[in-house]
Amino acid sequence: MTDFNTPLSKVRGLGSAKDGTHHWWVQRVTAVANIPLVLFMVISFVGNAGKGHADWVSWLQQPVVAVLTILFVLNVTYHMRLGLQVVIEDYVHSHGLKVVSLILITFACVLIAALSVFSVLRIAFGG
Amino acid sequence: MAQVKRPLSPHLQVYRWGAHMAVSIINRMTGVALAVGTILLAWWLVAIATGYEYFNTIQGYADSILGRLVLFGLTYALMQHLAGGIRHLFMDTGKMYDLKSNTLSAKLTFVFAIVTTLAIWFAAYKVMGRL
């Protein structure tokens, strides 16, 4: 079998999409980070179940809670951006629609992250 | 040029369903459901930041039958995606590719998700004093 790869491209190992295993790897890293963060969020929701506005505000004003909630939101939106990208690449076959969908989900993920982080900061700093 | 009749790969519907297939597609479906869930999380955080009255409106939605149904579904989705994801991390190290452990671990993700979902809701209702 003829091998058309240059030695340099083999060493780089970036493949035809030019980013190699980066997508796969970052999805795993965010997945691992998600495990303790999800655990924290679940404990936080169960522990404060049914609480009113004032209780949630003072809960989120604790520095550790605010930081972990922000980390959760950032990590989850990144992980979901990567996952939704794969879903779109698998099922949307028209090139134009695919590119538009990918841009739209990127915007949506960034917007969700920005709204959440801004809200947590506003609560934490008592605005 | 003569058409070469190459064998075609059989399509999805000819396979008999197994736990490993179910956990695979459900991991994807729960992932998409959880993506919608992050919109609700952002909405809820915005509501707390907005103030007492708006938070109570949102809390009212969440406490309705439909709201609780959605939240219960999202809890299951989260636990299922968590278990399925951890199974994938093990498989990334080359483990659990033999039929027996692959099927067993696939079934275990469903057991884990159902048990933890019920436990979470039981605990939440206990905390709310509704049990």
pLDDT interval class at A20 (50, 70, 90) = confident
Task: Supply the ipTM of this predicted assembly.
Answer: 0.90
> Quick count: other Cβ atoms within 10 Å of Cβ A1?
3
Q: For residue A112, list chain B residues with Cβ-Cβ distance below 8 A.
A: 38-39, 42
What distance in Å separates the CA atoms of residue B100 and residue B103, rounded to the nearest whole number?
Answer: 5
Q: How many CA atoms lie within 13 A of A58 on its CB side?
A: 5
Chain A CB within 8 Å of residue B89 CB: yes
Tell which of A27, A30, A39, A80 to mutate to test the B interface (max B CBs under 10 Å): A80
Q: Would you call A125 an interface residue with chain B, using a CB distance cutoff of 8 Å? A: no
* CA proximity to A33, closest of B111, B85, B44, B72: B85
Instruction: Give A101's contacts in chain B (Cβ within 8 Å).
Output: none
Average pLDDT, chain A: 94
| Binary contact (B31, A60; C-beta < 8 A) | no
State whether B52 and A73 contact (CB < 8 Å): no
Q: Could you tell me how many CB contacts below 8 A there are between chain A and chain B? A: 91
Q: Give ∠ CA B23-B25-B28 in degrees, rounded to 5.
A: 105
Say yes or no: B12 contacts chain A, CB-CB below 8 A: no
The CA distance from B4 to the nearest CA of chain A, in Å, is: 21
**Cα(A100)–Cα(A85) distance, rounded to whole angstroms?**
11
User: Is A110 touching B (CB cutoff 8 A)?
Assistant: no
Q: Scanning every residue of chain A, which has its alpha carbon at the shortest distance from the alpha carbon of B83? A: A35
Tens digit of pLDDT at every position of chain B (131 positions): 567 888 777 777 788 888 999 999 999 999 999 999 999 999 999 999 999 999 999 999 999 999 999 999 999 999 999 999 999 999 999 999 999 999 999 999 999 999 999 999 999 999 999 88
> What is the per-residue pLDDT across A48-79, written as a single tens digit (0 to 9) for each?
999 999 999 999 999 999 999 999 999 999 99
The answer for A 22-41 residues in CB contact with B (under 8 A) is: 28, 31-32, 34-35, 38
- pLDDT for residue B7: 79
Q: What is the pLDDT of residue A126?
A: 86
Phi-psi bin for A51: left (phi > 0), alpha (psi -120 to 50), beta?
A: beta
State residue B26's pLDDT score. Answer: 96
Answer yes or no: are the C-beta atoms of A31 and B85 closer than 8 Å: yes
Which residues on A lie below 8 Å from B86 (Cβ)? 35
